[in-house]
């Protein structure tokens, strides 16, 4: 409070002191040369610290920009891979549908061929039975013919 009242008394808006006059008062000989040298050292040190901070910030900004560029590049790469993968999935789905249709057609043909094989097998068995019956009849007829020949030969020779 005390300092505030003192500041208002000497530097208040109605005191008539300008900024230049205040600077002159501050720059007056009341500050010793040692204090000025300390201030200059502190100012130099602060300037060095500020310079290092700016360098660090610039390095961070550069690293951030590189990171963003790499992240964007990676994202674009992933989008490209996703696009390629999506296209490949669609192509495989189309190929799958074509293979399913081909499979159904092949199964239908196998079914038809299987029915034809069954029909031919039945006909073949029927033909085999007919051949067997015919061979039996032929054998009986041959035997009967031989018997008849034998009987005829006996009749002739007797």
**Mean pLDDT, consecutive 10-residue segments, the chain of 158 residues?**
58 57 60 66 87 93 94 93 94 96 96 95 94 93 89 79
Q: What confidence score (pLDDT) does residue 95 get?
A: 96
| Residue carrying the six token digits 């040692």 | 34
Residue 27 has, within 13 A of its CA and on its CB side, a CA count of 6
Closest CA to 33 of 21, 25, 41: 41
Q: What confidence score (pLDDT) does residue 34 get?
A: 61
- Three-state DSSP class for residue 30: coil
* 17 CA to centre of own chain: 74
Q: Are 10 and 17 in contact (CB under 8 A)?
A: yes
| Residue carrying the six token digits 């201030």 | 39
Q: What confidence score (pLDDT) does residue 20 get?
A: 63
- Between CA 20 and CA 8 the distance in angstroms is 17
- If phi over 0 gives left and psi between -120 and 50 gives alpha, with beta otherwise, what is residue 18? beta
Token pair, residue 64, equals 């951030």
Q: What confidence score (pLDDT) does residue 156 get?
A: 81
Q: What confidence score (pLDDT) does residue 21 get?
A: 64
């Amino acid at each position: 409070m005390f300092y505030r009242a003192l500041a208002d008394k000497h530097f208040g808006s109605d005191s008539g002191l300008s900024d230049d006059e205040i600077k002159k008062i501050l720059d007056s000989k009341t500050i010793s040369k040692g204090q000025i040298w300390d201030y200059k050292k502190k100012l130099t040190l602060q300037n060095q610290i500020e310079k290092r901070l700016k360098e660090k910030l610039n390095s961070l900004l550069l690293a951030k920009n590189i990171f963003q560029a790499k992240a964007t590049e990676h994202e674009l790469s992933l989008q490209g891979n996703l696009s390629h993968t999506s296209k490949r999935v669609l192509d495989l789905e189309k190929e799958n549908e074509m293979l399913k249709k081909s499979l159904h057609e092949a199964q239908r043909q196998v079914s038809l061929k299987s029915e034809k094989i069954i029909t031919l097998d039945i006909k073949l068995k029927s033909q085999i039975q007919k051949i067997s019956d015919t061979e039996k009849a032929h054998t009986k007829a041959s035997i009967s013919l031989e018997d008849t020949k034998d009987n005829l030969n006996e009749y002739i020779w007797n």
